Structure 1
Amino acid sequence: MAGDAIDHATTVLLEELVGFFRKGRRELLAKALERLNEVETKAIAVAGERLDDPEIERQIMAALKEPVSLPTAPGASSGNSPPSSESPPAS
């Protein structure tokens, strides 16, 4: 229920924000908000279709079998090679 309340509050806030502006901007913002709602609806439908695709489970399982490479801390060595024996160039 909380998610629905937040969604409704967001919709009302955006609609009221559009209504705050003068006619020219208000019409433009209303059109943009309408377009945003259309795109959001389509994006949710596409995401649902992709999640229903049986191929996604195969891709997830393949990704889980890949080795994980953890990021190294800044300045940390990124490999197992020994330090170089060369001296840094003189300035």
Structure 2
Amino acid sequence: RQNLITAAARSMYGAGEPRKRLIEPPFQLESHRYQTLQAADWIAGLVGRFGAYWCDKDAYADYKVFANHFEHRLHRAAKRSGIRTNAPRATQ
């Protein structure tokens, strides 16, 4: 499997005809190999918890800790998202 992922990456980024529209090799990847994927995993996890908390604060009360620590940063960095339709709007 490691060899297949490496070969796909070489094909994507190689000098011959690189695949310019692909960001990562099209495999289910382990985040320990790609820092961009690891960051995306963390951000997606946080956003998912925010969405659950915003939609049903009683059912997901345990997720309040994530909102307390990271919500202001997400609002500051994000321009728009449909998941925030019922949440307070970020100041711009």
- Scaled by the length of structure 2, the TM-score of the pair is 0.29
Higher helix share: 1
**Larger relative contact order, structure 1 or 2 (CA cutoff 8 Å, min sep 6):** 2
Structure of higher CA gyration radius: 1
